[in-house]
Amino acid sequence: MEKKTNQTIFSIFTLLLLFSSCVSAQLRTGFYQNSCPNVESIVRNAVRQKFQQTFVTAPATLRLFFHDCFVRGCDASIMIASPSERDHPDDMSLAGDGFDTVVKAKQAVDRDPRCRNKVSCADILALATREVVVLTGGPSYPVELGRRDGRLSTKASVQNNLPQPGFNLNQLNAMFNRHGLSQTDMIALSGAHTLGFAHCGKFSNRIYNFSPRTRIDPSLNSGYALQLRQMCPQRVDPRIAINMDPTSPRTFDNAYFKNLQQGKGLFTSDQVLFTDQRSRATVNSFANSETAFRQAFISAITKLGRVGVMTGNAGEIRRDCSRVN
């Protein structure tokens, strides 16, 4: 009886492995070669135009892609208008410019008669993410395509599915591992914090009331902590935002990791990558070598883009990214 049970478990496990590998196998570069051959250049031009209007386009689009993929997979469910994932507190701080980037790129794609209603919002978000990385000086990389758009988006599905600013290394690894992402992937993706900003309330505990014994988090560089206090005085307007990378906030580079070495990680979940011995070597490697960081980031964001995707006839190709067909 035990032998039969073990065989059944093994068979189920094998099927699951086959299924997950088939899903990512159905994503491929050149997916739209016949149906919309110019999709990449159309998205590139639309994103570039939006980026010229506001720099926020870059961090907003990157963060949008991450939030989408970690909840229900990379299916553009984050794009669906309220009531949806967007009502959850973790998503309410997503900048409107990220959504607008995808909407404008989708409109541009659909203006081409060959492409109309053939390219998913999920794929447009994946392509737009690559473009903002390149526009800010980061690496270019091939984007696998063929995702379908999801039909479900709920506030409840976001709960406990996005990393929090106070996470320790075990919590970060557990969440990323759930999506098939390694510790190295997690550290490389955290490097995207080289762009963008955070609201004061997300880290104020580190500079005002860390513990009964010390008001400032001892892992925080003391000079940086005082700077943060000046920029985020107590009872400050919660909409005030601070650059996550104090040295080169508009450039996609490895400065984030150099900052961690100096105790200048804005969130606990940033600084812990250096303070925890288990991840410190990777941080040092990325701080010492821009090339090592870029290669690891390309690998990690490609793996992120495969998380929970729907392909083939699953889901739909949304005509309007903000609502199901």
Annotated binding residue 199: no
Q: Is 68 annotated as a binding residue?
A: yes
* DSSP per-residue string spanning 72-107: TSSSSGGGSPSSSGGGSHHHHTS-HHHHHHHHHHHH
- DSSP assignment of 155-195 equals SGGGTT-S--TT--HHHHHHHHHTTT--HHHHHHHHGGGGS
Tokens at residue 87, please?
């009502």
110 annotated to a ligand binding site? no
Query: What pairs with residue 149 in β-bridges?
Result: 316
290 in a known ligand binding site? no
Residue 178 burial (CB < 10 Å; 0-12/13-18/19+)? exposed
Catalytic site includes residue 199: no
Neighbours of 195 (CB within 10 A): 29
Q: Which residue has the tokens 């067909």?
A: 325
73 labelled binding-site residue = yes
On whether 97 is known to bind a ligand per the annotation, the reply is no
**Whether 98 contacts 64, CB under 8 Å:** yes
238 is in an annotated binding site: no
How far apart CA 119 and CA 319 sit, in angstroms, is 9
The answer on whether 77 is annotated among ligand-binding residues is: yes
3-state helix, strand, coil in the chain (%, to 5): 55, 5, 40
According to the annotation, is 87 in a ligand binding site? no
| 163 assigned ligand-binding residue | yes
Is residue 100 annotated as involved in ligand binding?
no
Catalytic residue among 67, 88, 179, 199: 67
CB 283 within 8 A of CB 261: yes
Give the C-alpha separation, 221 to 142, whole Å: 38
Bind-site residues for Ca(2+): 68, 71, 73, 75, 77, 85, 194, 245, 253
Bind-site residues for substrate: 163
Bind-site residues: 68, 71, 73, 75, 77, 85, 163, 193-194, 245, 253
Bind-site residues for heme b: 193
By annotation, the residues acting in catalysis are: 67
